[in-house]
Structure 1
Amino acid sequence: MSVVAGAQRAGAAEPVALVRYQGPAGDHNDRAVPGAALVADELARRLRLPVTVVGEPRPAAPASWDVELTVALPALRELAVAQEAILAAGRTPVLALTRCAAALATLPALARHRPDTCVVWFDAHGDLNVPDTSATGYLGGMVISGAAGRWDSPLGAGLDLANVVVVGARDLDPDERRLLTDGTVAWARVGVDLPDRLRRWVAGRPVYVHLDCDVLEPGLVPTDYRVPGGLTLADLAGAAEMLAGHEIVGVEIAEFEAADERGADATVGDAGPLLDALSPLLGA
């Protein structure tokens, strides 16, 4: 069921909580903060909800993962507190995030409050690296592993890898590929039968959806990484329609950018087509 239907059935006075994160999260450019604002504004219009804003933007300052995490920690802790409060109140979080790394703050709270939930992670990358195995040292590539306690994130852990399904991953480092191919983490690859395969992996469990926009075929929405062989918007809509038949515990959208690499003079991104594809989940 959609986030709206599921939360209304739970009987909360304000069942869905819409949050926009605008703090740092290992950013390598400044396009994701306004991108998250575009997503949040469109969500607010469709869901008719106010937006809670978390964090303060600051210019991107690419550095090693540990330096970036130290810089981001104050805002990420604020996001973790917000996620904790939403879930503790029995409400459904819908989050417009800047980068995948922000989920280091959201997933541990989910694991505490809804350990039965299947995290469906749409991403061109595995995000299963740890600092010692990452080829790039990119903070966003260590999110699932951090939330699962494979490395010591100061934001907590508790996520069970058996409750994760990675969807659409195709740009993988060796350790990530091993975890996916040996079945430690479920892997639903791009393909025409994706909804059926994803249904089998989810197996009727409640669902928390994370969407990194680079899971899509390059050029469909503005995002930083471009990895050929991705989902179409129709593919995403088909998966969303199937997932909407489950209890939706929450939805988070990351890596939508306000403009492409041409900079501020480029066309501002339109979040509408993306949210149209996700509408079965959102009840909009």
Structure 2
Amino acid sequence: MPVSLSHFAARAGDHNDRAMQATPAFAHVLSERLSVKPNVIGKPQPACPANWDRELAIALPALRQMSAHYDRILTAGMSPVTVLSRCAVALATLPMIAKHRPDAAVLWFDAHADLNTPRSTTTGYLGGLALSGPLGHWNSGLGGGLTERRTILVGTRDIDQPELDLITARDISLVPVASDMADKLRKLVSGRPIYIHIDCDVLEPGTVPTDYAVPDGMTLIQLEECAAALASSEIIGIEIGELETDDADSLDADGPARLVASALEPIFRRLPM
């Protein structure tokens, strides 16, 4: 079955409006590359940062639409390619991956582990709970089902102590930024079916506009090398988020989006068309 391109347009714990402004350009770039019209989920809302529980309540209608959308396309055997605004959208997508493909490894390319819970978070940021929800460490109202043994953190380097304790206790795999990270990732995945989450802040600060600047990130070449290493596996789908722009009236995110899309070309070539 073919690719299903999705564009999550709504607010999901946003600190600012810049990711919601960038996602149409990113969706346009991927639509051109994949020759598929995007399905748009939700509508942009002005960001007004609040604690995780308030942000979740605001985002839940669109997140439930996203969950139902993933349920439909995965039931149909389609491959989801999704442009996200923020990482918190994974609260809706990953439980559906776990439901339909419990054999899949989930690769979390992100500068942050996002394994905090409502009890451990010191910031109250919804995105910081984005992976712990699907792992069942708290109840987001959107389901769980993901397991630690099928979760691989890639390029993660800003890790809070409670998250580090969890990674160590649950033996969650971590592939740090290094010259040999593609080879390590290839061996760790070992041909298993995979679903890929990419937060643009996994890249070295300044590579593309994003919300956080965490030093010692991946280069675009390293991202492409990792994509090539993963291309021998069955690619269930991919979601990409946290690209920003400062101009709502232009496609100034088009250039950075093309940089990221180009680095991920080995993945796109592997998808059914």
Q: Which residue of 1 aligns with 2:261?
A: 275
Runs of 4+ displaced beyond 3 Å: 263-267
Cα distance between partner residues in 2 of 1:143 and 1:66: 13
Query: Is there any run of 5+ residues in structure 1 with no aligned partner, and where?
Result: 1-11
Cα distance between partner residues in 2 of 1:210 and 1:89: 21
**What's the offset of the Cα at 1:34?**
2.0
**What's the offset of the Cα at 1:35?**
1.2
Q: Which residue of 1 aligns with 2:199?
A: 212
CA deviation map 1:31-86 (0-9, x unaligned): 11121111110000011111100001110010000000000000000000111101
What is the Cα-based RMSD across aligned positions, in Å?
1.5
Q: Which residue of 2 aligns with 1:55?
A: 42
In 2 relative to 1, CA 57–267 (structure 1 residues): closer, same or farther, beyond 3 Å? closer
Q: Which residue of 2 aligns with 1:221?
A: 208
**Aligned mate of 1:245, from 208, 216, 232:** 232
In 2 relative to 1, CA 183–195 (structure 1 residues): closer, same or farther, beyond 3 Å? farther
Cα distance between partner residues in 2 of 1:129 and 1:19: 27
Q: Which residue of 2 aligns with 1:5?
A: none
**What's the offset of the Cα at 1:266?**
9.9
The letter of the residue matching 1:278 is L
Contact 2:22 2:251 in 1 (8 A): no
Cα distance between partner residues in 2 of 1:118 and 1:164: 6
Q: Which residue of 2 aligns with 1:177?
A: 164
The letter of the residue matching 1:244 is A
- SS class of match (1:79): helix
Contact 1:121 1:211 in 2 (8 A): yes
Contact 2:210 2:242 in 1 (8 A): yes
- SS class of match (2:68): helix
The letter of the residue matching 2:252 is V
The letter of the residue matching 1:27 is D
- SS class of match (2:107): strand
Q: Which residue of 1 aligns with 2:28?
A: 41
**What's the offset of the Cα at 1:277?**
0.2
* Aligned residue pair count: 268
Q: Which residue of 1 aligns with 2:139?
A: 152
Q: Which residue of 2 aligns with 1:254?
A: 241
Cα distance between partner residues in 1 of 2:102 and 2:251: 41
Q: Which residue of 2 aligns with 1:65?
A: 52
Q: Which residue of 1 aligns with 2:181?
A: 194
Cα distance between partner residues in 2 of 1:265 and 1:70: 29
**What's the offset of the Cα at 1:101?**
0.2
**Aligned mate of 1:80, from 52, 57, 67:** 67
The letter of the residue matching 1:186 is S
Alignment of 1:90 onto 2:74:
no
Contact 2:106 2:195 in 1 (8 A): yes
Cα distance between partner residues in 1 of 2:249 and 2:158: 30
Contact 2:193 2:235 in 1 (8 A): yes
- SS class of match (2:192): coil
TM-score by length of 1: 0.91
**What's the offset of the Cα at 1:265?**
9.2
- SS class of match (2:205): coil
Cα distance between partner residues in 2 of 1:221 and 1:60: 21
TM-score by length of 2: 0.95
**What's the offset of the Cα at 1:227?**
0.3
Cα distance between partner residues in 2 of 1:61 and 1:105: 21
Q: Which residue of 2 aligns with 1:3?
A: none
Q: Which residue of 1 aligns with 2:97?
A: 110
CA deviation map 1:74-131 (0-9, x unaligned): 0000000111101010010000000000010000011000000000110000011101
Q: Which residue of 1 aligns with 2:217?
A: 230
Cα distance between partner residues in 2 of 1:278 and 1:17: 17
- SS class of match (2:218): coil
The letter of the residue matching 1:159 is L
- SS class of match (2:131): helix
Cα distance between partner residues in 1 of 2:70 and 2:171: 27
Alignment of 1:16 onto 2:3:
yes
